[in-house]
């Protein structure tokens, strides 16, 4: 008889999380460790990745920090040589340049593409073959609601997030017969270093909060459930999928609330 009580248990599994120094990546490390995984906390910012690993260790978990730069194939190769084939791979980093599309320079375009899209590709190329040879694993990349809906100033960023989604679908199709699952998580607006510019602008901050059905921003910790779910056996038949964690952002227009009759629930 299947033990459903243990379907989220990650004991004995090794997880590599890139972006571990802050935000969603840091929260993902803490969450995976809480469910029993040994976590490799990777980031270009090694000192803060070490702080994440130390927090896990202080709570009784197993963690180690390492330097990984998604723009540097050598740092990725060193991590792949050390870890070979982790059970779980989580990739969170992204950058943005908020400009009208026709004002984006070649250098800015290349910088966003290099990290957001090509960085994920480099990780897939380095780690997916080993996971396929072993015959199991879960790869979790981060897309965004911007893969589906955009606004002025989000053209290049949105293109990278749509690209990540399509790469994940292709990789999932290629690795399915080897029991390696590949999925994306698509957050709405989350309070992270990437969104600090918006948070400083009260009108912008409030507008984004009002766009979701929950009328607030997400905290990085609220993405952990999706990460643990996709990392665990609870999602054993899910691959090639995009899991929206957006507070209802993409499910409703949100531009105008018509004068409907008073709700009986109010």
What is the set of active-site residues?
157
What is the Cα–Cα distance from 233 to 255, expressed in whole angstroms? 39
- Structural Rg of the chain based on CA atoms: 19
Computed from CA positions of residues 51, 53, 56, 57, in that sequence, does the dihedral angle turn out positive or negative?
Answer: negative
Of all helices (H) and strands (E), which one includes residue 248?
none
| Backbone dihedral angles phi then psi of residue 30, each to the nearest 5 degrees | -65, -40
Buried b (16+ CB within 10 A) or exposed e, 153-186: bbbbbbbbbbbbbebbbebbeebeeeebbbbbbb
**Integer CA distances (angstroms), 254 to 144, 146, 199, 249, in order:** 18, 16, 20, 8
């Amino acid at each position: 008889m299947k033990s459903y009580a243990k379907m989220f248990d990650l004991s004995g599994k090794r997880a590599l999380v890139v972006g571990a120094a802050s935000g969603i990546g840091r929260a993902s490390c803490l969450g995976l460790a809480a469910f029993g995984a040994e976590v490799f906390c990777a980031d270009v910012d090694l000192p803060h990745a070490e702080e994440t690993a130390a927090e896990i260790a202080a709570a009784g978990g197993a963690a180690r920090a390492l330097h990984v730069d998604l723009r540097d194939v050598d740092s990725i190769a060193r991590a792949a040589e050390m870890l070979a084939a982790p059970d779980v791979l989580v990739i969170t980093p992204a950058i943005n340049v908020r400009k009208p599309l026709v004002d984006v320079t070649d250098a800015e375009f290349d910088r966003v593409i290099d990290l957001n899209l090509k960085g994920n590709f480099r990780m897939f190329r380095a780690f997916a073959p080993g996971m396929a040879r072993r015959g199991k694993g879960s790869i979790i990349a981060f897309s965004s609601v911007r893969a589906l809906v955009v606004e002025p100033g989000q053209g290049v960023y949105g293109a990278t997030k749509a690209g990540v989604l399509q790469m994940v679908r292709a990789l999932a199709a290629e690795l399915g017969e080897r029991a390696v699952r590949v999925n994306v998580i698509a957050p709405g607006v989350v309070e992270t270093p990437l969104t600090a510019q918006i948070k400083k602008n009260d009108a912008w901050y409030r507008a984004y909060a009002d766009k979701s059905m929950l009328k607030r921003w997400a905290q990085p910790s609220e993405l952990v459930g999706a990460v643990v779910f996709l990392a665990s056996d609870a999602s054993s038949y899910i691959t090639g999928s995009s899991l929206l964690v957006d507070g209802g952002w993409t499910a409703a227009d949100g531009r105008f609330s018509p004068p409907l009759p008073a709700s009986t629930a109010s």
